Amino acid sequence: MANERNRWLQQLDEATMWLLDNAATYAGSWPNARIIRFAIDYAGHARAIVLSEREETTKVELLLALTAPVQRQFFGYPWSRARHVLADHRAFAATIARISGEPSTP
């Protein structure tokens, strides 16, 4: 069980490292600055979560909260992306504030 857990953590480490190291390559050619910034912010914050000293359960919770809106905006159905764009960006910003230790705003 510990070996499987360590393998999972290693995969998270490698995936977030790749996202951050290659952000300019996969996001740099996109036509919209907002979506480029969204991808780069995601890569940086996901990597920061993995490298942080937080408990593993907190890391998982934060990664899920950070990833859900990004996944819908990049991989969701077009009608779903359009319908949820504002809510997804708000949820993403709220998670970043949580990661940074900023107080939440209503």
Token pair of 54 as six digits: 């937080």
Total of domains in the chain: 1
Q: Which pLDDT does position 105 carry in this prediction?
A: 52
Q: Which pLDDT does position 102 carry in this prediction?
A: 66
Residue 105 maps to a domain: no
Residue 106 maps to a domain: no
Output the CA–CA distances (angstroms, integers) from residue 88 to 54, 57, 62, 64, 91, in the order listed. Answer: 24, 23, 15, 13, 5
Residue 92 is part of which domain span? 2-100
Mean pLDDT value across the chain: 90
Residue 70 maps to a domain: yes
Q: Give the whole-angstrom CA distance, residue 88 versus residue 103.
A: 19
Residue 75 maps to a domain: yes
Residue 72 maps to a domain: yes
* Amino acid letter for position 74: F
Q: Which pLDDT does position 77 carry in this prediction?
A: 87
Residue ranges of the chain with per-residue pLDDT less than 70: 102-106
Q: Which pLDDT does position 59 carry in this prediction?
A: 94
Residue 49 maps to a domain: yes
Length of the chain as a residue count: 106
Q: Which pLDDT does position 18 carry in this prediction?
A: 95
Q: Give the whole-angstrom CA distance, residue 7 versus residue 90.
A: 33
Q: Which pLDDT does position 80 carry in this prediction?
A: 83
